[in-house]
Structure 1
Amino acid sequence: SLSRHLAALAAGAVLGLALTPLAHAEDDGPEIILRYGESGQNYERSGIGFRFSPVWSDDWGNWKATLRPELELSQMHYSGSKSGPNDLTQGGAIAVFRVHYGNAGIRPYFEAGLGAGLFSQSKLGAKEFSTHFQFSEHIGAGLEFAKRWYAGYQFSHYSNADIELPNDGIDLHQITVGLRF
């Protein structure tokens, strides 16, 4: 339910605030990301991610690009009336390519990621994923604040790429909040 998702996000925010004294304004530090979103079809997701320091970075004039590995963990919930499991846990690993513009206190960013994940079940409500293994694609945009915090939008898609049918997949629209330390 929504209260469970909000409790998970609140716990992550408390963890982020606890780490704030350790934070400094480095573009290359690791990050903690909180996510909450839905598919618009009675499916919700709340989760946390940990992005490691970049494995690659480059400056393109006023643009800076990075490639970071990310580990993610989330809970998905179905609140509709179809029969089937109402909850599943998802874990995954993603390679995230991100660009941001400028060096100001507030600056825009854009990102895209590819990865793989495992679902604890192969069904969630009316969706039949057929396999526990899922590929993932992500795109997002937002604003960074003081090179330390950021908030934005992320679209994520999970499916098994027709390894086994049916392959309903799931698309999620999410808000994200991150802390770099």
Structure 2
Amino acid sequence: MQKATRSSRVAAVLSVAGAAFSPLAHADLGVTFAGGVANHHTTTLDAAVVWDPNLHWWQMGDWSFSLLGEFHAAQIRNTEGVDPRTVAAFGVTPVFRIGKDGGPIRPFFEAGVGVRLLSGVHLNEAYDISTAFQFADMVGVGLKFGGKGQYELGYRFEHLSNASIKRPNPGINFEQLYVGYMF
């Protein structure tokens, strides 16, 4: 009798866990590629893997609030001065979106705050960003289109800064255009 009770409890726990994580099992993956310009003669190229767990809240007609995860690998290049540098940046950003859920063209607004780890802190002989650990704040707008909304075009304004963990903290402001595809 006790074995039946124990296996019933295990089955109940597994059922609850399965129900809690079932939205994650239907996650979609995609990629984005971005290019941008920044202050201080700096440019960026960014590639990201996008994880969409299909979590939608606060349905308002055809619009909803959703969450995505982005995993970035980027190059930040400075062309100013006699000793220009290129640094690599790796990081993650949770992205919150308010977007249209249906139709051939689906506009969205997005924002996120993530972290980046840089391979260096000197962009040229005079431009020092102090720490390899940086925060990446972002706001943007875009459009999803295609039969399943699998294509994306967007614009983002991103601010990279160490939040004054260490001085100097000049920050870098990027304006980026990006394209994306969800598999």
- The bucket for the TM-score relative to the shorter chain is 0.7 to 0.9
State the Cα distance separating 1:98 from its structure 2 match.
1.1
TM-score of the superposed pair, with normalisation by structure 2: 0.78
Q: Partner of 1:158 in structure 2? A: 160
In the alignment, structure 1 segments of 5+ residues that lack a partner are 1-26
Q: Distance in 1 between matches of 2:173 and 2:39?
A: 9
For residues 100-115 of structure 1, the aligned pairs below 5 Å read: 100-115=99-114
Matches within 5 A, 1:162-177: 162-177=164-179
Identity %, equivalent residues: 32
Please name the residue that 2:78 is paired with: 78
Aligned alpha-carbon RMSD (Å): 1.7
What does 1:1-181 correspond to in 2, within 5 Å? Answer: 29-54=28-53, 56-58=55-57, 59-81=59-81, 83-125=82-124, 126-146=126-146, 147-181=149-183
Q: Residue by residue, what CA displacement relative to the aligned partner does 1:136-158 show, whole Å, maximum 9, x if unpaired?
A: 10111011112010101011111
Q: What displacement does 1:54 show?
A: 2.3
How far the C-alpha of 1:70 sits from its partner, in A, is: 1.2
Which structure exhibits the higher relative contact order, with contacts defined as CA atoms closer than 8 Å and separated by 6 or more residues?
1
| TM-score, structure 1 as length reference | 0.79
Larger Rg: 2
User: Alpha-carbon deviations, 1:4-58, whole Å to 9, x = none?
Assistant: xxxxxxxxxxxxxxxxxxxxxxx95222010000114310000101111227322
Note the C-alpha offset of 1:101.
1.8
Gaps of 5+ in 2: 1-25
